[in-house]
Structure formats: structure tokens, C-alpha cells
Amino acid sequence: MNIKASIAGLFVLIAFSLSSCFQEYDEGYELVGRVATISVFTLNPTSAPAGANGTATVRYFSEHELVTAYRLIQSVGGQRTEVVNVPVQNHNVEDSYQETLNFTVPNVAAGTTVTYIMQVETANGLVRERTANLTVTQ
């Protein structure tokens, strides 16, 4: 038996034995498509009286799917209200984008937490969202 055949046989044996060492497992989620990434979402201020003006800053990108829109939603007690919805044209998958949106703190009681939700939607209809809270003061 020649030495090359012996070495090749040894490699085949090692490959088969190593393949049995790895177990497949369910990661608990299913990949459904490409979504955008929201790398930054901040509110300024994070506490303010009802009727005050504020800004929400978002930085997002999508490397594989075109972004078609982004929107800011406010939620008080589970009731969602769209603040602004911006359609996106000419999205470039090689760039990231930063936007600043204006909002007015809703007329709710002091101590109420208002959740702001930033959503970025891609052409395949998938939405990525991030949240930030603002506390209403007197």
C-alpha cells in the first residue's frame, strides 16, 4: 500500500469522525428575510412637560434590502399614534443614514411614560423597530 493512499484514508476517517462531533440544534427563531438595522435611536429630552417640543434622532442602514420608509410612533398606555411617516427614495445599501424628527409631548398627566417607537421598513415589507421612553413632568 502506498503512503499517499494511507494518508488519504486517514483524512477521510478523521473527517467522518469529526462530523459526528457537531450536533445541530434549533436556535429558537426562523429567518424570514433581510431587515434594516437601527444602530442609534435617542430622544432629546427624555423628560419634559406636556406640550413641550422634542427631537428623536435615528441612525439606520440596510445592506441587503432597500429601505422604503421610516416612521416615529408614540405610545401612551398601549395606544399608538403615528407622529411622522417618511417615505424613502434612492436608498443606497452602501450608506448609513441619520435623521432627526420633531415631536410634541402629548397632553397627559405628569409621571406618565410615553414610549416612542422608531420603525424602519424595507422593500420586502419587514419592519425593524427600537423604542425609547420619555417621562412627562409637570
pLDDT, tens digit, 9 for 90 and up, residues 49-68: 999 999 999 999 999 999 99
Residue 60 belongs to some domain of the structure: yes
Residue 65 belongs to some domain of the structure: yes
Residue 96 belongs to some domain of the structure: yes
- The string of pLDDT tens digits covering residues 57-99 is 999 999 999 999 999 999 999 999 999 999 999 999 999 999 9
**Whole-model pTM over 0.95:** no
Residue 7 belongs to some domain of the structure: no
Query: Does residue 57 contact residue 42 with C-beta atoms inside 8 Å?
Result: yes
**Domain that includes residue 117, residue range:** 37-137
Residue 31 belongs to some domain of the structure: no
CB atoms within 10 A of CB 43: 20
Check which CATH number belongs to the domain holding 111 and give it. 2.60.40.10
- Total structural domains in the chain? 1
- The string of pLDDT tens digits covering residues 32-45 is 678 999 999 999 99
Nearest-5° Cα angle at 86, 31 to 137? 95
Residue 17 belongs to some domain of the structure: no
Residue 20 belongs to some domain of the structure: no
